Amino acid sequence: MGILSGSGNKGRKLILIVYLLVSIVILLFSAFFITQAIQAYTLYQYERGFSLLFTGVIGLALSLYMLSVYMRRPGLIRHKEVRRMVAVVECVSCSYRDRRDYVSGDYVMKESGGCPVCGGKTLVTEIYPEVVGRG
Ligand SMILES: [Zn+2]
């Protein structure tokens, strides 16, 4: 369930480190290609310069994109708060009200099965993140 539950998985951490290293290496290569391109242009080697610049810019865009994806990973920068999504389910006929884990595809006012008290319809009425622990 918990994609955000920051239980330290060694394999996953290794993948993240490799991912980060790969994007940094691509970034360095791109910078190298761009400096080579500038050098080629100063030597009037326009064709060589263009292909170097092209490769450099593509690599730069790719590595920056990879880094931005890395930065946006949950639980990596903010280790302190572990949140999980909670959905509140209410019955339309009686006063039954319950909280359960958010399930992918939940939205407010979605029908959520039968009421365990009266058998009536229940609706998702709230969806919010709940802090479950600090680490
Ligand atoms: Zn009910």
pLDDT in tens, 83-119: 789 999 999 999 999 999 999 999 999 999 999 999 9
pLDDT at residue number 9: 67
Mean predicted lDDT score pLDDT of the chain: 87
State what percent of residues in the chain have pLDDT above 70.
85
Cα of 90 vs centre of ligand 1, distance in Å, is 8
Query: What is the pairing mode between strands 111-114 and 81-91?
Result: unpaired
Angle separating helix axes 10-42 and 46-71, nearest 10 degrees: 160
d(CA 131, ligand 1 centre) in Å: 28
Compute the distance from residue 107 Cα to the ligand 1 centre, in Å. Answer: 20
Å from CA of 130 to ligand 1 middle: 25
CA atoms within 13 A on the CB side of 117: 11
Amino acid making up residue 91: C
Block residue for tokens 């909280």: 99
CA of 116 to the centre of ligand 1 (A): 7
Determine the distance separating the centroid of ligand 1 and the alpha carbon of 114, expressed in angstroms.
8
pLDDT grade, residue 82 (50/70/90)?
confident
Residue 2 has pLDDT above 50, yes or no: no
Predicted local distance difference test score (pLDDT) of residue 119: 95
pTM above 0.95, yes or no: no
